[in-house]
């Protein structure tokens, strides 16, 4: 047995160095800034894009004959009636578009409208694309 004292091992901070307090504060500040920016963007998206100027929904559709299909839709306006363009497509059994109809809906709030789509050949379904205004980037 040896009577010499055991060697003292230095701590990890002494051996490798510790990050400075200012670096930790900078990382924390950066993290908080990114979180605040993200929450601000989320709030902006919720407030300005949640209530579109115009939206629509399909109520039902019917294939009338080999060259005609109809679709019933309801168009809802946001703050007030605006100029909107709506689109419906007739699709055949082989998934080809056989007719398309664009129209401007009436300004009655939530009135059901019937749209007639002329087709090249018999359609099997009518796809409601939706409505949009000049300020909207996609159909709703």
Non-local CB neighbours of 103 within 8 Å, separated by 6+ positions = 85, 86, 115
Domain enclosing residue 33, as ranges:
12-49
Q: Residue 96: its pLDDT value, please?
A: 93
| Structural domain total, the chain | 2
Q: Residue 79: its pLDDT value, please?
A: 73
- d(CA 71, CA 123) in angstroms, rounded, equals 12
Q: pLDDT, tens digit, for every residue of 86-118?
A: 899 999 999 999 999 998 887 765 678 899 999
Tell me, yes or no, whether 98 lies in a domain. Answer: yes
Residues in the chain, total = 140
What sign does the dihedral 14-16-22-25 (CA atoms) show? negative
Task: Using 50 as the pLDDT threshold, list the residues of the chain that sit under it.
Answer: none
Alpha helices in 17-85, H assignment, sequence order:
21-49
Q: Which of 121, 74, 65 is nearest to 97 (CA)?
A: 121
Q: Residue 5: its pLDDT value, please?
A: 64
Residues 40 and 61 in one domain: no
Q: Give, in order, the Cα–Cα distances in Å from 8 to each of 5, 11, 127.
A: 9, 9, 78
Residues 18 and 70 in one domain: no
């Amino acid at each position: 047995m040896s009577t010499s004292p055991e060697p003292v091992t230095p701590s990890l901070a002494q051996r490798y160095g510790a990050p400075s307090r200012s670096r930790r504060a900078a990382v924390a500040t950066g993290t908080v800034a990114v979180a605040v920016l993200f929450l601000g963007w989320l709030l902006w998206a919720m407030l300005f894009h949640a209530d579109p100027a115009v939206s629509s929904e399909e109520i039902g559709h019917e294939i009338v004959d080999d060259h005609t299909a109809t679709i019933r839709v309801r168009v809802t306006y946001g703050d007030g009636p605006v100029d909107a363009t709506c689109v419906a497509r007739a699709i055949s059994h082989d998934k080809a578009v056989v007719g398309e109809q664009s129209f401007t809906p009436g300004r009655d709030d939530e009135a059901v409208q019937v749209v007639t789509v002329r087709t090249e050949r018999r359609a099997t379904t009518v796809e409601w694309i939706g409505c949009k205004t000049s300020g909207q980037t996609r159909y709703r």
